[in-house]
Structure 1
């Protein structure tokens, strides 16, 4: 596992994070580690758009769509 050290965190920010960690029964380190893991697991809009751009296009046939809708309404 890697190590990240953050300097110059504003006092208000540190107090808020400590209070939130305490409410969840976690250490500040565990709480911030969970926040960072959640952030890293959530793709950015640019990452999502790049994934969409890399996907193979889906062919669009209007008649197929109409027929599918008709069949679904029966």
Structure 2
């Protein structure tokens, strides 16, 4: 596992994060690690757009769309 050291965190930010960690029964390290893991697991908008751009185009058939909508309303 890697190590990340963060300097120059404002005192207010540190206090808020410590309080949130305490409410969740975690150490500050565990709390911030969980935040970082959540952030890394969520793709950015740019990553999503790149993935979409690489997808095959979906053919558009108006009749198919109308029929699908009719079937969904039954």
Question: Which TM-score applies when normalising by structure 2?
Answer: 0.90
Match of 1:45 in 2: 45
Q: Which runs of 5+ in 2 are unaligned?
A: none
What SS does the aligned partner of 2:36 have? helix
Give me the CA root mean square deviation: 1.3
Q: Using the alignment, how far apart are the partners of 2:13 and 2:59 within structure 1?
A: 50
What SS does the aligned partner of 1:43 have? coil
Q: 1:72 to 1:21 in 2, by over 3 A?
A: closer
Q: Which runs of 5+ in 1 are unaligned?
A: none
Q: How many residues are treated as equivalent by the alignment? A: 74
